């Protein structure tokens, strides 16, 4: 079997057409009409009034935190099991990340652990929908009302996912997406902020574009970033949006095929296929080695690589990140589920171009390695 990479994006003729159209029009910067068209089309998909396209999902989180004026002295509650982008946005703003553990069944933040972490300093809860299933968000909305705190919703892995009947990305005061090539739709690099509030949207647009002023260009009252997206990327995005439904459907098929093949393996913990509010869209197909199994994820990943199978480890928890531990942060804090997930979790090829034969091959090899 040829090498099976962990992801290959699905890009076709429509993308080519849109890109050629964009190149021929000469509008290749962020000034082209494709950017606002992409923003409009995407924000409609997730029932939001405003969309602000940016250069990455990470950029979207930086802007989200800044747009809510979160800064020194503030705290933001988030799952320790998340990508560095989430904590980086909070830390760079001068605020403090306050952590909660995740669950071993849906792999999302433990919603019941949030309330005890709320303090007078809490400004926001950053919800990170993880690996295909949404966070149980209704109780978090209750908390946000009760304590008057914002919700930042990181929906980077959730294009096309719903919580009950509402799209993911429709719940935050600000919600963010990524269009990195391993997401359900891609623009190569890219991201999107969505919200319903005009002044928040204006602020995001300003922060994206260096906080240039209308009155006098090059005079700044605030610092922003150049987090603009190009029209070339937006053109890709416009084509990709038309694939969203079928991409999600295929991702579900891939996930369910892996699940059916592996569910009986006693050495594996798999993410729930569904919850009472959603059906897994399998951003990636991940697995956690049961603690009875005497080797960790690293070992299994090396073995799979020898068999031409690409893998990636799970997120590394925030409280174990050297960049924060070196500052003496999170000392003595333990989040046992997240630690298990980090050391014993990995994911296998999950891209949209994967064939069923490749999935079965991967499963066969996993079964051989794990017994
Ligand atoms: C991919 C991802 C991001 C970052 O997106 P980039 O576009 O790669 O910067 C942020 N949060 C989560 C949960 C992600 O999966």
**CATH 3.90.1150.10: which residues of the chain?**
245-370
**Structure-token pair, residue 145:** 């009302």
- Distance between CA atoms of 369 and 351, rounded to whole angstroms? 22
- Distance between CA atoms of 288 and 267, rounded to whole angstroms? 8
Task: Give the distance (Å) from ligand 1 centre to CA of residue 182.
Answer: 10
Average pLDDT for residues 55-61, to the nearest whole number?
A: 98
Instruction: Give, using CA atoms, the residue closest to atom 5 of ligand 1.
Output: 57
Region at 148 (left for phi over 0; alpha for psi -120 to 50; beta for the rest): left
The percentage of residues in the chain with a pLDDT greater than 90, rounded to a whole number, is 99
Model confidence at 1: pLDDT above 90: no
Model confidence at 138: pLDDT above 90: yes
pLDDT of residue 203: 98
Q: Tens digit of pLDDT for each residue in 4-30?
A: 999 999 999 999 999 999 999 999 999
Instruction: Give, using CA atoms, the residue closest to atom 3 of ligand 1.
Output: 57
Model confidence at 371: pLDDT above 90: no
Q: Which atom of ligand 1 is least distant from the CA of 128?
A: 13
**CATH 3.40.640.10: which residues of the chain?**
13-241
- Cα–Cα distances (Å) from 303 to 41, 284, 297, 300, in that order, read 43, 20, 10, 5
pLDDT of residue 314: 98
The percentage of residues in the chain with a pLDDT greater than 70, rounded to a whole number, is 100
Model confidence at 211: pLDDT above 90: yes
Q: In the CATH hierarchy, which top-level class contains the domain 13-241?
A: alpha beta
Cβ pair 267, 290 in contact under 8 A: yes
- Strand residue runs (E) in the chain: 50-54, 75-79, 96-100, 122-128, 150-154, 162-163, 166-167, 174-178, 191-195, 268-270, 274-275, 278-279, 285-289, 312-313, 345-348
Task: Give the distance (Å) from ligand 1 centre to CA of residue 111.
Answer: 21
Question: Could you please report the per-residue DSSP string of 135-179?
Answer: ---HHHHHHHHHHT-EEEEE-TT-TT-EETTEETTSSSSEEEEE-
Ranges 145-154, 187-196, 207-216, 315-324: which has the least confidence: 207-216
Pocket test for ligand 1, best of 157, 159, 175 (most atoms within 8 A of CB): 157
User: Please, which pLDDT band fits residue 291 given cuts at 50, 70 and 90?
Assistant: very high
Single pTM value for the model = 0.98
Average of per-residue pLDDT values in the chain: 97
Q: In the CATH hierarchy, which top-level class contains the domain 245-370?
A: alpha beta
Q: Which atom of ligand 1 is least distant from the CA of 60?
A: 9
Model confidence at 89: pLDDT above 90: yes
Residue 175's beta-bridge partner residues?
Answer: 153, 194
Pocket test for ligand 1, best of 53, 55, 58, 62 (most atoms within 8 A of CB): 58
């Amino acid at each position: 079997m040829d090498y099976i990479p962990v992801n290959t994006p699905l890009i076709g003729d429509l993308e080519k057409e849109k890109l050629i159209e964009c190149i021929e029009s000469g509008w290749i910067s962020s000034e082209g009409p494709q950017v606002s068209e992409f923003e409009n089309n995407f924000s409609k998909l997730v029932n939001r009034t405003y969309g602000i396209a940016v250069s990455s999902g990470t950029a979207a989180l930086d802007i989200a935190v800044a747009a809510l004026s979160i800064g020194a002295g503030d705290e933001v509650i988030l799952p320790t099991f998340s990508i560095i982008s989430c904590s980086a946005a909070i830390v760079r703003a001068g605020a403090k990340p306050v952590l909660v553990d995740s669950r071993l069944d849906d792999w999302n933040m433990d919603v019941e652990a949030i309330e005890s972490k709320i303090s007078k300093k809490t400004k926001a809860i950053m919800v990170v929908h993880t690996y295909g299933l949404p966070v149980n968000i209704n109780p978090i909305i209750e908390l946000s009302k009760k304590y008057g705190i914002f919700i930042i919703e990181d929906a980077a892995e959730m294009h096309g996912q719903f919580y009950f009947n509402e799209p993911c990305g429709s719940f935050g005061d600000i919600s963010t997406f990524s269009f990195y090539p391993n997401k359900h739709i891609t623009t190569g690099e890219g991201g999107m902020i969505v919200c319903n509030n005009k002044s928040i949207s204006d602020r995001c647009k300003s922060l994206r574009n260096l906080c240039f002023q209308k009155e006098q260009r090059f005079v700044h009252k605030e610092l922003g970033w150049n987090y603009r997206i190009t029209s070339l990327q937006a053109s890709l995005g416009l084509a990709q949006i038309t694939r969203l439904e079928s991409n999600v459907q295929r991702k579900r098929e891939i996930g369910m095929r892996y699940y059916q093949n592996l569910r009986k393996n006693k050495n594996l913990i798999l993410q729930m296929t569904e919850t009472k509010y959603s059906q897994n869209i399998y951003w990636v197909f991940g697995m956690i080695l049961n603690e009875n199994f005497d080797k960790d994820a690293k070992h299994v990943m090396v073995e799979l690589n020898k068999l031409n199978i690409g893998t990636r480890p799970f997120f590394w928890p925030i409280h174990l990140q050297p960049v924060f531990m070196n500052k003496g942060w999170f000392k003595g804090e333990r989040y046992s589920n997240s630690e298990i997930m980090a050391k014993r979790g990995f994911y296998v090829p999950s891209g949209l171009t994967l064939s069923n034969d490749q999935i079965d091959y991967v499963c066969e090899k996993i079964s051989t390695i794990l017994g």
